[in-house]
Amino acid sequence: MGRWRIGVLVSMAFALLAGPAADPVAGPSRNLPGLLRGMVVAQERQAAEAGAQVLREGGTAIDAAVATAFALAVTHPVAGNLGGGGFLLARSANGAAQVYDFRETAPGRARPGMWLRAGRYDQREHHDSLRSVGTPGSVAGLHAAWKAGGRLPWARLVEPARKLAAEGFIVSPTLSDSLKQSLPAFRKHGPTLAVFSRKGRPFEPGERLRQPDLARTLARIQIEGPEDFYRGRTARLLVRMMVKEGGLLRRRDLAGYRVEVRAPLAGTYRGHEVLTVPPPSGGGIALLEMLNTLEGYDLAARGPLTTEGSHLVAEAMRAAYRDRARFVGDPAFAPAMPVERLISKAYAAELRSAIDPQRALRSSLEGFETGEPEHTTHLSVVDREGNAVSLTTTLEDYYGLKRIVPGAGFFLNNEMGDFNAVPGRTDATGMVGTAPNLSRPGARPLSSMSPTLLVKDGGVFLVTGSPGGRTIPNTTLHTILNVVDAGLDAQAAVDAPRFHHQWFPDRVQVEPGARYPPGFLDALRAKGHRVVERETRQGVAQVILVRRGQPSGGADGSRGADSAAVAE
């Protein structure tokens, strides 16, 4: 056995023995009872099982979230990732809460007008080129959360993902379908085609998918942690690709990446404390603004999916998305954001005063100078001690850029597509060009991700979130309304039909094939709403509801067939 292999095994042994430093904010409360069991709800069962096994071994909710997220990078490559970013909201049973912002950042060569060619917007450059790759944050973000609130060794948490990549796993019908859909794009990049096809033939359900390069990358991350990804061999493989093929990322971008630890945005809704993510996500602001607006109406009597109730919900959505477009961006580059005003009860009262209960308003571009695709993933975790994690992560598009890093095996994001396309151009098609979200070196693009926790009587009550691009805050809103106002259980809250309004285009989008109440759509049209059917279902929410110390999971299997809720 060579010296390198011996060194790897020795390093892994020490890594397995060493856990994170103790954190005074992590762990159970002395004043609150624990839960009867822990639970993980995620978009793929093997990943959820990896997290649940960590809970069985005494790991914390953060430990389980880390293990699940790494496993999703293997078994749910459409959105699980090493090469993307996201937000992790963690709340300890003692009440301490933090947001780990590991959103991707723009490379040092980024500029506000970089998507223009001869004065015209170039959509391909913005979304489908190596120039659209932001500095990945996932590995750094998961490690930072583990250092603060983990208990089991880091290498133990990465091991399920490494093993799944090395030994392979059986391809599900859902994964098979998504790989087939993306095969034409994979054919444009030899290294990607070699891994995610069988010599150019699509994977069929029941076949085994192995990812040896990704397994080796995960093994290095087990031993070296983020050092490998941002300064070591993996970093060199990524930069080599960028230099050779015209990307913007360089070694200094990777070496300079930092996770931002932020205080959650906090609000209340009908006696529940609501914790969610702050900018650069606009999702948390929009969610709190909508909840504050709707708190002034009796939705329990009206029902979120009755004609009256849904009209009010749609109008709350319209106003919140307008404010998201106008004001929100990376706080390092848009320090004057009026966050406290936007999430205040007083501002919500102003918004309610403008809503006509009988007639839809019209979206307006007044005050403006004349987004994020849906392939994200979410997971929710609670442990026996009452700690909770809500984590949303993304590659931006379906399989991100649809290109893996040769020799490293992970998909690249195309997250720069979340920056506003054309400075100063905001129009009725949904294009936004406001200043807070323009691409600048080191900036984090505006996101819709909305990992959220509700707290009641001092303990976690609801863990919720969803993928879905701009629909994310509205999907998360639906799960909350369904539980708090409609009194549904976790699974029913996830299964219920949803709808979406995002200010522009000025329309209510409804789900194909959803079972809305009789006359529901016609009644919305009668109030002046333009109602259109989406091409796909809305979001894939993953929810945990805690009642009397007993967690129950709502896995969105009707919209994401591989989703699963797994108890420890």
Q: Return the active site residues.
A: 376
Q: Is the dihedral of CA 105, 106, 107, 108 positive or negative?
A: negative
Which among 332, 335, 336, 347 has a CA at the least distance from the CA of 286? 347
CA distances from 388 to 288, 328, 437, 493, 545 (A): 20, 27, 31, 19, 11
For residue 88, the cross-strand partners are 100, 391
Which among 287, 308, 319, 265 has a CA at the least distance from the CA of 474? 287
Q: In terms of C-beta density within 10 A (0-12 exposed, 13-18 middle, 19 or more buried), how is residue 23 classed?
A: middle
CA 475 – CA 498 distance, rounded (Å): 7
Give the alpha-carbon dihedral of 339, 343, 344, 349, to 10 degrees.
130
Q: Which two tokens stand for residue 65?
A: 């979230």
User: Mapping DSSP to helix (H, G, I), strand (E, B) and coil, where does residue 201 land?
Assistant: strand
User: Mapping DSSP to helix (H, G, I), strand (E, B) and coil, where does residue 385 land?
Assistant: coil
Q: Which two tokens stand for residue 509?
A: 């989008």
Q: Which two tokens stand for residue 554?
A: 């709502």
Q: Write down the residue that tokens 């059986």 correspond to.
A: 170
Q: Which two tokens stand for residue 188?
A: 């444009």
* DSSP code for 263: P
CA 104 – CA 81 distance, rounded (Å): 12
Q: Which two tokens stand for residue 414?
A: 């195309």
Q: In terms of C-beta density within 10 A (0-12 exposed, 13-18 middle, 19 or more buried), how is residue 522 classed?
A: exposed
Residue type, 554: G
CA 177 – CA 390 distance, rounded (Å): 28
Per residue in 171-202, is it b (16+ CB within 10 Å) or e — as a string?
bbebbbebbeebbebbeebebbbebbbeeeeb
